Every structure is written in C-alpha cells, then in structure tokens.
Structure 1
C-alpha cells in the first residue's frame, strides 16, 4: 500500500462515537495514547431520541439529548475530535491495522469497535454475493466498473454522493434511493443516473450478482453498491467472529483477532448506557495493556536482532 495514501497513524483507532466509543476515547487519552475516533455525522441518534434517562448513575431525570451533549462536551474538553469519514474496512498491517475510508487510509496499532447495533439488516443474498458483484465502497471498487452499468442502493446521503461519483466512471447508474427528502437536499444527481422506486428485497444472480429484486420488478446491472450508515462488523473486519447476538468478546473486550477489541451494543444485549460506557472503559484499558505488551515485545525483537548482527 502506497505510504502517500496514509492520512494518520494512531495507537488506538476507535470506530464509533456513541457512549461506548467516547468512553473508550476518554480513557485512552487519560492513558496518554494517540487516538482517532471515527463516527457518523450525528453521534448516538438513539440517545438523542430518548425522552428521559432515569437509570444513569448521578444524572437522574435527564433527557437523552442533554446526556448526549454532556458526553460530547466531555470529549471535546479533552481535545478529542470526531473524524466523520466512515470506515469501510479494517485490515491487518505490519504495523497493526489499516483502516480504509473511501480513498483515505489510517494506521493503528490497535482498534476498538463500538459501532452500535444496525437497525438495517442485510437483504436476502447480500452477504453471499459480497465481493462477487456486491460492494459497500464506491471509491474502492468503482474503477472496476468503468464503462459498465451499476446499481446503487442508497440508504443515506452518502449513497447519493457515491452515485454521483460512480456516474463519472460507469456508463449508467441506476439509483434506488431510500433517503429521506430532507437528507437529500442540496444534492444534484448526474444526468446519467436514472432513479427507480421500490424497496430492495434480494440480490439476484448465479455465480456473480447480476441485479436486485425490488417489490414489483427486477433490475439488472454489472455491479451493485449498497451504501448504508454502517457496515456489519464481520464485513467491516474480515475474520471477526460474531454470533446472532453480536461480536464475540472475552471479559476484557478482546475479540478473536489480537489487537482488536469491541464494546457497547455491538457485542450484544442488554442495550444500556451504563453497560456501554463501562465496556468502553474496559476495552480502552485492555487496548492500552495490549499496546504496552506489544511495544515490549517489539523492543525484545529489536534487541534480539541487534545481538545477532
């Protein structure tokens, strides 16, 4: 991977800016680690919509929005900023892990997943065709479809932006938009984008995905791009072990991949604030311990190499 593509390097990269992610960030900063926090345009919408929170210790009779702002202000006061670039993949690297966000890449020695629970489930055959005609990243895979016909299933504003990007490469873009009208304001679609109304039901094809089944019709193309707010954890991190309840972790927050930890709603119920913030702290402390051991191991390796020269 070209070093010129690397935007930043971190000790700990935290994917998610809800209660678990911000708790992890605050505790990692206290332990003097260089962190990067990746989040959406609006951190923790679920908390924002809670009319009352009565079970968070020390903050009785508080609204979800007020508590959300307290979390964000705490992070801001500690110098923590939120990177709004959506992470679409986390891959092993000789220095730890590479996080991809469109055409940007970030390096991290360890990663904490705090992605919450996605309310949007994969459509039928989506996972089976991932990498075989189905993609979650237009910037990553768009060049493969230069001069070809593609379908974009847009679940958010980013999906409309990705459709415009693909319109510069593809011969034709078919857009199925599930974006609310207020969220699409200000975006002008390219002339070679045609819109089709309907709710996606399934990916269709044989060895390779060839189209999408909507409620009342089927549409066909050479490639299909599905753009949602978040990517399912096991698709975000290849090889990550998950169950129907969430990401599988040890008590320390460690996943099956050394150096990757998880916290909050993404590891399963109960979906409670106190649990999320506590797990965020545990994951951060575990990542710090991992880094300390990692650095010590690297130092030992360097000393062995020096001694043998």
Structure 2
C-alpha cells in the first residue's frame, strides 16, 4: 500500500465522534499526540435527542443537546477538527494502519474504534457475498464493473452520490433508494440510472452475487453496492474479534489486533454516557502507551545495531 496517495498521518486515528470518540480525542491530544477524528456531519444524534440527563457527574438535569455542545466546544477549544470522511476500511500497513474513505487514504500508528452501537442488520447472504459481487465502496470497486450492470442499495444521501459516480462507469445503474425525500433534496440523478421501488431482502447468486431479492420482485446485476451510514465493525476491520455483545476488548481497551483499541457503545452494554467517556479515556491512554513503547523499542534496536557495528570496526 506504499504507492497510494496518503492525505494525512496521525498517531491516533479515532473512528467515531460520539462521547467515547471525543473523550479519546482530548485525552490523546493532552498527551501531545497527533489525533485525527473521523465522524459524520452531526456527531452523537443519540445524545442530541436525550431530553435530560441526571446521571452524568457534575451536570445534574442537563439536556442532551447542551451536553453535546459542551463536548464539541471542548474539542474545538483544543483545536481538534472532526473529519467528515466516512471510514470504509482499516487495514494493516508497515507504518501501522491505513484508513480508507472513498478515494482518500489516511495513515495512523494506532486506531481507536468508537463507532457506537450498531443498528445495522445485514440483508440475507450480504456478508456471504461480500467481495464476491457485493461491495460497500463504489470508489474502490466501481472500476471493476466498467461497461457492466450494477445495482445500488442506497440507505442514505451518500448512496445517491455513489449511484451517480457508478453511472459514469457502468452501462446501467439500478437504484433502490431508501432515502427519505427531504434527505435527497438537491441531488439530481444521471439519465442512465433506473430507480426501482422495493425493500431489499437478500442477495441472490451461486458462487457470485447475481442480483437482489426485493419484497416486490427481483433485480439482476453484475455487481451490488450497499451504501449505509456505517460499516459493521468486523467488516470495517478484517480479523477483528466481535461477539453479539460488541467488539471484544480487555481492560485497557485493546482488541485482538495490536494497535487497535475500542471504546463506548460498540464494546457492548451498559450503554451509558459515563461508561463511554471513561472507556474513551482508557483507550486513548493505552494507545499513547503503545506508541511510546514502539518508539522506545525502536531506539533500543537502533542503539544495539550501532553498538554491533562499532564492535565490528
């Protein structure tokens, strides 16, 4: 992956801008690490909708929106910026990890997953055909379907944009839009996009995906692109250990992959604000320790190599 265009480098990259992610961000920044936050255009809608909060220490009967604004102001005061690029994949690299967001790539020494509790329910056989005709990223895999017929299952506004992008490559794009009318305002679809109605039920195919089963019929396609607000954690990070409760972590917030940590609702119950911010802090401190130990080991190795060379001379 060394030949790709890296947009920016971070010592700690945080996926998610809810309470856990923002807590991790400020604690990483306080320890003088370069922190990158990846989130949506509206951080923590769950907190925004809370009428009032009584169990967050020091803030009795505060509204969820007031507390959300305090969190964001804290981050802004520390000159941290929330990157509104949706991360679609996290992959190991010789320098740590590569985070992919459409056609952009970011490099990070460590990663903290703070994506919140997932409400995603994959449609039938979606995961079975992932990488075999099913994709979550049009920019990544779209060129594979140049001159072919593709289907786009759009669960958000981004899905409509991705359909337009694919229409410039494919001969035909069949769009199944589950986007609310108010959220689709301002987007004009290209002429070779065919919009069909229906609720996606599952992927059909044999060795390779060949179409999508809807509640009112079936559509055929050479490739199927599923565009949602977020990606399931184990699909975001290949090899990540998860259970029905959430991402598996130890008391330091470490996952089964060295250098990747997790915090907040994505690690399981209880789904509480204090737990999320506390785990965010723990994950950040663990990431800092991981980075510092890597630097110490590198210095030790370099010193040993220099001594070996001098002895040979």
TM over 0.5: yes
TM-score class, shorter: over 0.9
CA distance in 1, matches of 2:128, 2:305: 45
- The DSSP-based 3-state class of the residue aligned with 1:247 is coil
Give the aligned partner of residue 100 of structure 2.
100
Q: In the alignment, is residue 115 of structure 1 matched against residue 115 of structure 2?
A: yes
**Structure 1 ranges of 4+ moved more than 6 A:** none
Q: Which position in structure 2 is the counterpart of 1:274? A: 274
Match of 2:76 in 1: 76
Aligned residue for 2:288?
A: 288
Counterpart check, 1:44 vs 2:37: no
Residue 167 of structure 1: aligned partner: 167
Deviations 1:224-250 (A, max 9, x none): 001111100000000000001100000
Instruction: Give the distance between the partners of 1:180 and 1:84, measured in 2 at CA.
Output: 21
1:142-169 Cα deviation digits (max 9, x unpaired): 0000000001011111111111100110
- Give the distance between the partners of 1:306 and 1:162, measured in 2 at CA: 52
Matched with 1:230 is 230
- State the partner residue of 1:127: 127
Distance 2:300 2:141 in 1: 40
Per-residue Cα deviation, 1:4-43 (whole angstroms, up to 9, x for no partner): 6100011100000000000000000000000100001111
Give the Cα separation in 1 of the matches to 2:50 and 2:201.
Answer: 31
Contact 2:95 2:109 in 1 (8 A): yes
The aligned counterpart of 1:215 is 215
Written as runs of structure 1 = structure 2, the 5 A alignment for 1:127-276 is: 127-276=127-276
Q: Residues of 1 paired with 2:121 and 2:4: CA distance?
A: 36
> Are residues 204 and 4 of structure 1, via their aligned partners in 2, closer, same or farther at CA, if it must alter by over 3 Å?
closer
Count of aligned pairs: 309
In 2: Cα distance, 1:308 partner to 1:298 partner: 15
Q: What is the Cα deviation at residue 119 of structure 1?
A: 1.6
Once residues 165 and 298 of structure 1 are traced to their aligned partners in structure 2, the CA distance between those partners, rounded to angstroms, is 44
User: SS in structure 2 opposite 1:242?
Assistant: coil
Output the CA distance in 1 between the equivalents of 2:128 and 2:302.
Answer: 43
Other structure's SS at 1:173 match: strand
Q: Which residue of 2 aligns with 1:303?
A: 303
Residue equivalent to 2:35:
35
Q: TM-score, normalised by structure 2?
A: 0.97
Bigger Rg, which one? 2
Cα RMSD of the aligned pairs, angstroms, is: 1.0
Deviation at 1:105, TM superposition (A): 0.6
Report the alpha carbon displacement of residue 189 of structure 1 after superposing the two structures with TM: 0.4
Structure 2 Cα separation of the partners of residues 66 and 21 of structure 1: 18
User: Shift of residue 307 of structure 1?
Assistant: 3.7
Paired residue for 1:20?
20
Q: For residues 2 and 225 of structure 2, what CA distance do their matches in structure 1 show?
A: 25
Q: Structure 1 166/88 Cα, relative in aligned 2: closer, same or farther at 3 Å?
A: same
Instruction: Give the secondary structure class of the aligned counterpart of 1:66.
Output: helix
Segment of structure 1 superposing worse, 243-252 or 2-11: 2-11
**Separation in 2 of the partners of 1:50 and 1:143?**
43
Cα distance in 2 for partners of 1:18, 1:269 equals 16
